[in-house]
Amino acid sequence: MSLSNVAVNLQAQDWQAVCSRQDLVAQSGVVVWFEGRQVALFYLPEQDTPVFAVDNQDPRSGANVIGRGLVGHLKGELVVAAPLYKQHFRLSDGRCLEDSQQALQVWPVRIRGEQVEIGLA
């Protein structure tokens, strides 16, 4: 279900450029300001989906720190570990592996030429 959700989102009609490819850091995250929200962009150049966009706010601490988390691969899923309490969120759909009550919003995101674009929901 989450997969089809992602697929639908990637069909977003309107895309907005948020930063350049050069701003991304491979195997790691950076944060962009996007329409009043903080969005963390994770860049994994060798993956089929090379860039992911998730909410920068950690629901547990309330701090805006997700973009500074460590990226990893757990049980077949790409995840980010929240830096303060180390809970893991799936990059694909923002679900928390340890706590079903926590989730991060995700955005459709793509790289067009040198631009990184976020899709408007």
Partner 1 sequence: MNAATTIAQREKLIIVGNGMVGHHCVEQLIERGALSRYELRVFGEERQRAYDRVHLSEYFSGSCAETLALGTAGLYAGHGVNLHLGEAVIQIDRERRQVLTSAGRYAYDQLILATGSYPFVPPIEGCEGASRLVYRTLDDLDAIRAAATDARRGVVVGGGLLGLEAANALKSLGLEAHVVEFAPRLMPVQLDAEGGAALRAQIEALGVGVHLSRATQSVVAGEDYRYRMNFEGGEFLETDLIVFSAGIRPQDALGRSSGLEVAARGGVVIDSACRSSDPHIYAIGECASWNGSVFGLVAPGYSMARNVAAALAGENAASFTGADMSTKLKLLGVDVGSIGDAHGATSGARSYRFIDEASSAYRRLVVDASGKRVLGAVLVGDNSYYDTLLQYVQNGIALPVDPAALILPQTAGAPTLGADALPDSATICSCHNVSKGAICTAIDNGCGELGQLKQQTKACTGCGGCAALLKQVFEHELIARGVSVDKSLCEHFAYTRQELYALVRVEGILSFEEMLARHGRGHVGCDICKPTVGSILASCWNQPIMDPSLVPLQDTNDTFMANMQKNGTYSVVPRIPAGEITPEKLIVIGQVAKKYDLYTKITGGQRIDLFGAQLHELPAIWSELIEAGFETGHAYGKSTRTVKSCVGSTWCRYGVQDSVQMALTIEDRYKGLRSPHKLKFAVSGCTRECAEAQSKDIGVIATEKGWNLYICGNGGMRPRHAELFATDLDDAGLIRLIDRVLMFYIRTADKLQRTSVWRESLEGGLDYLKQVIIDDSLGLGAELEAQMQLVVDRYECEWANALKDPQKLKRFRTFVNDQRPDPGVHFVRERGQRRPIAAAELHLIPTTEEVL
Q: Is residue 64 near partner 1 by the rule CB under 8 A?
A: yes
Could you tell me the two tokens for 115?
Answer: 């631009």
* Residue 79 CB contacts under 8 Å (≥ 6 apart), including other chains: 71, 72, 73, 88, 89, 90, 91, 97
Point out which span in 1-9, 75-83, 96-104, 105-113 binds partner 1 (CB under 8 A). 75-83
Asked whether the beta carbons of 82 and 71 are under 8 A apart, the reply is no
Among 88, 94, 95, 104, binds partner 1 (CB under 8 A): 88
Q: For residues 33 and 99, which CB has a smaller minimum distance to partner 1 in the complex?
A: 33
Verify binding: residue 81, partner 1, rule CB under 8 A: yes
Largest CA distance in the chain: 37
Q: Do 64 and 31 form a contact (C-beta atoms < 8 A)?
A: yes
Q: Which residues bind partner 1 (CB under 8 A)?
A: 18-19, 23, 25-28, 30-33, 38, 44, 46, 57, 61-65, 68-75, 78-79, 81, 83-84, 86, 88
